[in-house]
Structures are given as C-alpha cells and as structure tokens.
Chains A and B, each alone.
Chain A
Amino acid sequence: MTATPASRTNWALIGRRLRVTTGLIMLAYVTSHLLNLVLGLHSVRWVELAQPLLSGFWSRFPVSYILLLALIIHFGLALNSLYRRETLRIPNYDKVQLLMGLAVIPLLAPHVFGIIATKDILGQASYRFILEVFWIQDPVAGLRQVLVLGAVWIHGCIGLFTWIRTVQNSEPVAKWLYPLAVAIPVMALLGYVEGGRQVLIENLEPRSVSASQGGGRYASSAPKKVFVPARPPQEIIKQSKRAGNWVILGSLGLMLLTLIARSIRIFRNKGHMVEIHYSTGEIIEAESGPTLLDLSRLNYIPHANICRGRGRCGTCRVRILSSDTPLARPAPLEQNTLDRLEAESDVRLACQLVPGAGKLVIEQLVSPAYSPGETDAEDKFPVAEPAQ
C-alpha cells in the first residue's frame, strides 16, 4: 500500500476534478429540466413551448452522450469512493448524499427507458402525454418521479455546496444559490402538480375516462397513428422494461459488490491500536485504518472540515508534534492543498492522513467552529482555541 500512493493519488486528483465536472454537468441538466417544469405553474402549453429549448437540447446527439458518459463516470467514482471509505459511520450530510446518490439510478432507469420507448412508439414524448401517464395511467411512476427529483436534487445540492464552499471568492454567488436551491425544486414540483391537475381536468371532462381503467402501462391509452413505430409497441415496451430492470439490477449489484469488496478489504487490513493526543488535552484510542478526521469524528472530537474530507479546503490541517510510526509522505492531492496554504513540512491534512500504530501527538490548526466567510467569528464568540 505504501509503494503505490504516488501513482494512485494522481488519479485521485483527476478523479476529484472529474467528479465535480460530471456532477456539474448533470446538475445543469436537471436544473434546466426542472425549470421547464416550473412553467407548468402557468399551463401545460407553456411547458411544451419551452420544451425544445430546456429539455430537448439535452437529448440531441452529442449532448445526450456526454450526459450518459458523465453519469457513468460519476457513478463509477462514487462506487470507488464508497469502496475506499474506512467507516460508514459518517456525518448525516454525507450519509444523505450517499444514500440519495445510490438511489438515483434505480429510481431513474424506468423513466429514462420509458421516455425512450415513448419516442420509439409515438415519435416524440410530449409533456402532456408524460403528465397523463404520471397522473392518470401510472401514478406509481409519478410518485417515483417525485422521489427521484428529490433524491437527485438533494444529492446534487449537497455536492454543489460542498464544492462551492471551497472555491475562492464564491460567497457572492453562493448567497444566491441557496434560496434558488430550494425555490427551483419546489416550484418545479408545484408546476408538476398544477400540470397534473390540468391534465386530470381535461381528461375527466370530455372523455370521462375512469382513472383505474387502464391498469397501468403507457401504450394502453396512447394516442395512435400519428407516427408509425418501427416495431410493434408491445415489443418496444417489453424491451424497455427489460432494459430498465437490467439497469436497476446491475446498479444494485454493483453497489452490493462494492460493499462486499470494501468489507473484505477492511477485514484484511485489520489495524493496530492508535493513540491520538490532541493539544487540547483529549486522548483517544482507536483501531487504525480510518483517517485522522474520521477518528476524531468517531470519538466526538470537533474537527473543522469545510469540504467534508475531500482534501480540498485544508481546514482540517493539523501539526504533527510526534508520531511513533513514520507517516507516509503526502500524496499529490494532499500536497497540492498544503502547497496552496503554504503550510510547513510538519503540517498534514487530517482527512488524508492515516495514522499508523502507536502514539500520535497533534495540534489542530483551525478552530472547529470555523465556517467560510466568517473571519471574525472568533472575536464574537470565544471558541476554545487549541493551546499554543
């Protein structure tokens, strides 16, 4: 393990950038999709008018493939980081993000394949039709859609804000992003409800279709003969359902495999006992393996970490006063951040540092109560500073 870090962590740096980039691409897609839905607050017609601009753009040839690629890369990176996690007793924020992220693909797959199938059958997937499906023919799909919206949005926002907090001079932008992060999904959901209501009313009045009549699937009451599908609709639907199930099962299987691999790795790496002395006087004993930041957190010792252990912000940095076992050299990812902070040679990032067996004496360099954009926080509220 000590032999490879240089080659591995170079990848880590690239992986981190990739994760942010792919995440941002997908968030942009989701945002424009939701903005399209917001128009449903006015009428379904407006939604359809804006569709080519806001949603259609993403399903064109190069963009759609970029999106798919981003999704796959993001998912792979997530599995990788799950595999590398030493402990699953993580803060609530991370837990929510992880769970939401894992839930997205299984929840989303039926929708994606459903849309593709609709296009194959009808030539286009109009919002009115989709709303009809969601509100009248298959409300379960509608519910799933709301859930996936929540999951994607929560996952994406946590990622976005964790990233943006570490970007220099981001406060003026971030200030506006927070209300937007709530307003967009709420308005989109309201637009969805309002659109559904309109569709319901229209559907009930002229045709008086009993809602339970269809029993469920897209094709059963689809408007017909506008477009001639290449294959019989039943076959398309069957195929899309099968594909959706495969994706769900596949992603779930991958997650399960990752978890199994992770527990095998942890089992084989069974650690020694570490004893960590903080300059504030606290002493903890724990099994080695997790990073120093995780150890602090597991033992309820407050430790600043703005970027939630991604080695980006450097607020978790500590000064190593003494260590029984020699510590591994900082990997490029860590070294990058340390260089940016112009840190001395005995300063390390707690989120990257894995303490070895024996005693380790450290001093936290940033107050645990530190939060970005509040430089004078300590003056107003005297916080226990690590003793010099």
Chain B
Amino acid sequence: MSVSRILCQLVFGLAILLAAPQPAMAQDDLVDIVIEDPSPNDVRELMRLLSDDRVQKWLQQSAEGANSLAPDDTTIDLRQQLVSGLDRVRDRIAALALAWQRLRGAPKILQDRWQSEMTSHQKVRSLTYVVIFLFVGGGLEWLYRHYTSALLLRISLQRHNAPLRRALAALYRVIIISIGLLIFALGSIGMFLTFDWLPVVESAVLNFLLVVLVIRAAATVSLFFFAPNMPKLRQVPLSHPVARHFHGAVLLNATALTLALALADVFRRLAQERVGQESAAPEALSVTVLLALVVLAIVSWSIRRSFRVVARDQQRSPTRQQKFWRLYLYFVMLITFALWLIGANGLMWSVLIIGLVVPLLRMLNAWANHFFDQARAAFLEAAEQNSPAPDPDDSGAAESGAADIPPEAEGEEEETPELHDPYESYQPITLRLIRFVVLVCAALLITTAWGTNVWSMSSTPTLMGRAFSVLVDVTVAILIADLIWVWAKSVIDQRLADYTPPEDGAAPGPEARMATLLPLLRIMLMVTLLLVVCLSVLSSLGVNIAPLLAGAGVLGIAIGFGAQSLVRDVVSGIFFLIDDAFRIGEYIEIGELRGTVEGMSIRSLKVRHHRGMVHTIPFGELKQITNHSRDWVIMKLEFRVQFDTDLQLVKKLVKKVGAELKANEHYGPSILSTLKSQGVRRMEEFNMVVGVKFMTKPGEQWLVRRDAYQKTRDIFEAHGIRLAERNVKVEIEGDEKLDEEGKKAVAAAAQEVAAGPPKLPGAVPDEP
C-alpha cells in the first residue's frame, strides 16, 4: 500500500465525515424499494458458489487483507515479519521502476482518462459550480465577518499587558475567525450538495474544497501564534518580518502538502481500472512521486529560508545550534521521503513523528517559558505601580524580586501584594503537561500509522507489537504519575513556602492547619503513586497482579484489626483537621486539660499547659474540644461600690477608661469592643455590683483586663468613688460605753459576719 493511499484515506475519511448528509439522503431513497426474498434458485446458486474452492480461497484472502491484525496463523515470528516486509519493499521498488518507465507517457494517459470522463463543456460547467459554491460560502462568511468586525477590531486593538489577557484576546480572535471559517465551510458544502456532479468530478471538487478548508484552518492556527499584522497579539517572541515569514511559510507548506495529497488522490482515482481500460496505476504513481518531490523541495526551501530569516533578524551568522537543527530537519525530511519511496509507511510515520516531536517540544517549551516570563514581568510591573514606592531603593528591591517587604510597608500588608513569583507552581506543571500531551499524541499517531489499535495491541502475537505496547503502557503510566506528582508537589511546596508560623502570642492563621496536613499528604501521595505505577508496569509486562492486590488487601485487613485504635487515631485526627477544630498555636481546653497546641503527629496532639506541662493526647481520645483562640473573647469584670455612688459618674468614667484602652498603641487595635459599663448588675448586702465588659481578639484579653482594672481603680479614686469594703455596722442599743472586752467581742462577731460565705471560683480561666 502506498503512502499516498493512506493519506488519501485520511483525506477521504474527512471527506466522508463532511459529506455525511449525502449517504443519509441516499438511504432515504432506498427505503422505498421493496426487497423481495430470494428465490430457491438463488439460494441454490449461493450454496454452489460457497462450496467452490476458489471462492472460499478468495474469501479467505480478502478477509486476511481486510484485517491484517488477526491473521489465521497465530504465530508470526520476527523473521517472517521481516521477510514479508522486505517482499513489500521489493514490490514497491518494482512498481517504482515501472512508474519510471511510464513517466513520459503519464501526463497524456491521465489527461486522456480525464477527458474520457466527461466533455469539456461539462468540465467548464463544473468549474462554474465551483465558483458559485465558493462565492456562496464566501458571501455568508463575509456577512458574519461584517457583524463581528467591530468586536474583532476592538479585541485586536486592546492594550494587553498581561500575557494571559493577550493570549485570551488572540484566542477570541481566532475563535471568531474560525466560526467564520465554519460558516464558509457550511455554506460551500451545502451548496456543493445541491448540485449534481459526475462521480470523478465530485471527488476532485471535494478534494479541492478540503484543500481550501485545510489551508484556511492552518492559516487560522498560524494567525494565533504569529499574528503577522498585530504585534500586540503575537504569542511568540518574534519580530515583525520573522513572524510574517513564518506565517507565509505555514501557508505555503500547508498549500503544497494538501494540494499534493488531493492531486495524488484524484490521479489514483483516475487510474483505477474500469471496464475496457487497463489500470494506469504506474502512471499515477509516477506523478505522485513527482508531486512528493515538489513538496520535498518546497519544505526544504522553507526550512532553509526560515533559518536564514531568523539569522538575518538577529543580525549575525547562524549559531552552531541553529546549524545543527537545520541539518537535523533536512535529515528527517530526507529519511521520511526515502522511507515513503520504498513504501515503509509505518517506519516513515514513526521517523517523521519522532523526528518532529523533539523540535516541537522545544518550541512549545520555549513558548511556555516566554509566556511565563512575560507574565512575571507584567505582574511585577503591576505590583510596582500599585505600591506607592517611597524611594527608589524600594522599587529596586521590588525589581530584584525580593520577597521581603520594607519595614515601613509592614503595617499596610493587606494592600501591598507580596512580590513573590505567582507562577512558580504553574510553570513546571504547564511544561510537564505540554510534554505529556505531545508525547501521548505522538504515540497515538504512531500506533495509528502502524495500523494497530493501542487497546488491542497487547493481544497481538508479534514480539514487536508486544514490546511496543508495553513501552507505550509504561511510558504513559510514568508520564501520568509524573504529571500528578509534579503538580501536587509544586502546589504543596508553594503552600508550605507561603506559610509563616505565627509569632509568639499572635493568633495563628488558617494556613496553620494546612501546614500540618500537607507534608502528610505529600508522603501519602508519593507512596500511592509509586505503588500504582509499579503495579501498572507489572500488569503491562504481563505479571498477574491480582494475587498481589489480594495479598495487599489481606495484609491490610490484618494490620487494620491489629492497629484498630491507631487507625481510629489517624482517621479522627484527619477529621479534626478537616473540621478545623484547632490549629497549631491555639489555646484549647480538652476536658480537664488546657494549653496551647504545640504540635500534631499523625496520631496525637501535643498541648502545653501555660505552666509548662506538656500533654499528649491521641486524637481518638478527643471527645470535645473547647477552643479559646477563635475570633473573639468577651471578658466581664465587676466592681463593688458603695450604695451612695453616683452611677452616672461611674458610667462616664468607665467610658473614659474604655477610650483610653482603645487608644493604647499596643493592644488597642485588638480590642473589638472597648470597655463599657453595663450598669448595676446586682445589689448585695453591703454594696452594689457594677458590671463592665469588653471584647478583644483571643489572647489579648489578659493584658486588657490588667489595665482595665488598674485604670478604673485609679480613676475611681481620683473622683472620690470608693470601692466598697465589707463592713459590719454594729448598732448597740443604749448608749452605754463598751469596755475593751466588749469591743473585741463585737469586732470578732462583725468580722465573722463580714467574711461571709466562701467565694466560688471565677468562671474565667486563669491567665496563661
């Protein structure tokens, strides 16, 4: 089978896809025809034919030809394969020799065939049809373009600093243009379907239409990257002339390739055997080879010219690297052509794809890196513009990408973005992803070229097929695992790098939880990935991994029973962390125990009491947790004053103290609601109880309480408000004077009364 045939099949596969409505219509017509049952005579005839040896042999052969995957003899060894391959090459070379002999007469014969297909008038009429359907497609597209032109203009002329926005704008532009192309395709194909064509003309016209569509699609893709007229939308770091050149080169090569394919296909169809004519296959082959030579020349010329244009643009002679790549590309082209010539299609595609994957990967990587560099530069620039730089030193520091912020900016940390690289985690993932996609696509293409199905390949009996399928399996498994691992690792590392442990006394942020959980996750992920990759590699090598999995399952169950409480600890620990019940650095209360969370392991929690003792508590033992470090804390204080106190004055004084507290430079900002009087809370035997309260951030209440007591006492004293003391008024009936003895007795009794009932412990916890 010749390569042109494969290519033509490709083209025609597309063609059939595009022309799908037609067969459907044809079927509709067929439905009306009533199919009668075969007569007994027919059946007998069929039986006779089937029992004929020659027919049987022919059926067998055509079955083999149709499905080379499943040959009848199941064991084809390497040698047999080689022999059949060599045979094919020999046939091909013979065909080439014949084609060479008939080359001289080829144009005439093909022309005769073409002439015999139809009269010249029919030809011209067909051409008229072609012009009309192109006009219709073009007209519809023009209408669409008119309605979108204003949008397109605006997208093209926006000033894009961030490369992401630029890429998006270029993408929108390409999408708009592609929809236009689609409308063109629909319009012209629709018109194409309404006309009546001669069979050969139909295929030729369809080929032509496909050529137009493919070239335009290639131009659209090229427009996305090179944007020859819009430097602002260009995705690649190329100067104007170079971008224009590459755009032109893409167009030229696409045109040459598709035209050659289409023509080769038309010739092949013309050359097909018909009644009364012998096959003109050698002639078609010779013309096809000529076409291939032309394509080769054009491609080589474009390679040569591309390197020259780039070198001229850089204004220096080509570097060694460029020379190497130029040579490399020539080499790949030549090998491809030679392999095509001898008819080794699978090999040809493999060489072409593998040969092109390397430069393609390099180019895509360079593009992605350029994209990220630009994004980074734009980000830094934007950050620089946003932060009001007090002196030039500052911006200098920002330019160097230093993550530390100058001290005076510390207060307004919320406004100034941190100047770390925001794309650090995306870049490696993107590069990996590009590599992954390109390699997988290449592998798929190669397997398609070999005419095999990836999914059924491991069942092929040939050694090569087996080895290849194992290779593909292993590569894909490793690539996927690598992709996931790099992504997870960079995300986790990024999060961990962002996390700064809270300073002493400061409340820990929400990131503290992640800081606990993430390293754990990373290890688990790595182990899982390694296991999965190992297992899938083993399975693709043919090792039966079911017992392994079962064994691991049994082992897992055994360990699970043994380590039930351990498992409970681990699992409930994870859930506590997910619930966000506590974080490192928070002050919590678990039953009797109180303290600051110092650390967590996979199984247990370490809590340090404020007097220094460390409690270790397994997560499984935690029933309920009281967290004292969340959001806010209300603290209530009481003052006992005498009954004759001026309550209005008290209120005023408390308010004043509150204002003072709020104004404090150290803890003032952490007071959420400052000290205020709540009036008389209750009356007691000897005094009134005035309540005050305030609300602060957790952990700040102790300091505020200390000052609140002190300042209130001072201000009360200054205004003559006396705090009540327990006193006992002893009223003595009559006015006889007490003697010393009597006075002592009275004092003792009064003291006993004044001591009152024993005091209950306070509701608030001790200050840590």
Name the contact of B158 in the complex, choosing from A179, A186, A371, A381 (C-beta under 8 A): A381
A136 part of interface (Cβ distance < 8 Å): yes
B68 part of interface (Cβ distance < 8 Å): no
Is chain B's binding surface mostly helix, strand, loop or mixed? helix
Task: Check if A193 sits within 8 Å of B158, measured CB to CB.
Answer: no
Distance to closest chain B CB from A92 (angstroms): 10
Distance to closest chain B CB from A58 (angstroms): 23
Distance to closest chain A CB from B492 (angstroms): 38
User: What is the bound-complex CA distance between A190 and B155, given in angstroms?
Assistant: 37
Q: In the assembled complex, which residues on chain B have CB atoms less than 8 Å from the CB atom of A371? A: 149-150, 153
Q: In the assembled complex, which residues on chain B have CB atoms less than 8 Å from the CB atom of A185? A: 135, 139
Q: In the assembled complex, which residues on chain A have CB atoms less than 8 Å from the CB atom of B154? A: 369, 377, 381, 383
Q: In the assembled complex, which residues on chain B have CB atoms less than 8 Å from the CB atom of A212? A: 119-121
Contact indicator per residue, chain B 446-469, by CB within 8 Å of chain A (1) or not (0):
000000000000000000000000
Q: In the assembled complex, which residues on chain B have CB atoms less than 8 Å from the CB atom of A143? A: 124, 127-128, 131
Chain B residues touching A, range: 20 to 34
User: What is the bound-complex CA distance between A189 and B135, given in angstroms?
Assistant: 9
A302 part of interface (Cβ distance < 8 Å): yes
B195 part of interface (Cβ distance < 8 Å): yes
Known: A182-B143, A212-B120, A377-B150. A142 touches B128 (CB 8 A): yes
Nearest B residue to A136 via CB reads B121
Q: In the assembled complex, which residues on chain A have CB atoms less than 8 Å from the CB atom of B132? A: 146, 189-190, 193
Interface hub of B124, B139, B143 (most chain A Cβ within 10 A): B139
B210 part of interface (Cβ distance < 8 Å): no
B667 part of interface (Cβ distance < 8 Å): no
Interface hub of B129, B131, B153, B229 (most chain A Cβ within 10 A): B153
Contact indicator per residue, chain B 108-134, by CB within 8 Å of chain A (1) or not (0):
000000000001111011011101100
Task: Check if A300 sits within 8 Å of B120, measured CB to CB.
Answer: no
Nearest A residue to B229 via CB reads A300
Within B647-704, the residues touching A (CB, 8 Å) are: none
Q: In the assembled complex, which residues on chain B have CB atoms less than 8 Å from the CB atom of A5? A: none
Q: Could you count the A-B residue pairs with CB atoms below 8 Å apart for me: how many are there?
A: 83
Within A291-325, the residues touching B (CB, 8 Å) are: 300, 302
Contact indicator per residue, chain B 142-155, by CB within 8 Å of chain A (1) or not (0):
11001101100111
Nearest B residue to A212 via CB reads B119
Name the contact of A300 in the complex, choosing from B139, B149, B240 (C-beta under 8 A): B240
Nearest A residue to B135 via CB reads A150
Interface hub of B142, B147, B240 (most chain A Cβ within 10 A): B142
A135 part of interface (Cβ distance < 8 Å): yes
Distance to closest chain A CB from B387 (angstroms): 23
Chain A residues touching B, range: 20 to 34
Task: Check if B153 sits within 8 Å of A369, measured CB to CB.
Answer: yes
Nearest A residue to B230 via CB reads A300
Q: In the assembled complex, which residues on chain B have CB atoms less than 8 Å from the CB atom of A193? A: 129, 132, 195
Known: A178-B146, A212-B119, A374-B150. A135 touches B125 (CB 8 A): yes
Nearest A residue to B146 via CB reads A178
Distance to closest chain A CB from B434 (angstroms): 30
Name the contact of B124 in the complex, choosing from A142, A182, A374 (C-beta under 8 A): A142
A139 part of interface (Cβ distance < 8 Å): yes
A25 part of interface (Cβ distance < 8 Å): no
Task: Check if B135 sits within 8 Å of A211, measured CB to CB.
Answer: no
B318 part of interface (Cβ distance < 8 Å): no
Interface hub of B129, B154, B155 (most chain A Cβ within 10 A): B154
A to B CB contacts below 8 Å, 5 in the list:
A143-B127, A182-B142, A185-B139, A211-B122, A384-B157
Residues of B within 8 A of A (CB): 119-122, 124-125, 127-129, 131-132, 135-136, 139-140, 142-143, 146-147, 149-150, 153-159, 195, 229-231, 240
Contacts beyond the supplied A178-B143, A182-B142: 17 A-B pairs with Cβ under 8 Å: A140-B124, A143-B128, A143-B131, A146-B131, A179-B143, A182-B143, A189-B135, A190-B132, A193-B195, A211-B122, A212-B119, A212-B121, A368-B153, A369-B153, A369-B156, A383-B154, A384-B159
Q: Nearest 4 A-B pairs (CB), nearest first?
A: A139-B124, A384-B159, A371-B150, A182-B139
Residues of A within 8 A of B (CB): 135-136, 139-140, 142-143, 146-147, 150, 178-179, 181-182, 185-186, 189-190, 193, 196, 211-212, 300, 302, 367-369, 371, 374, 377, 381-384
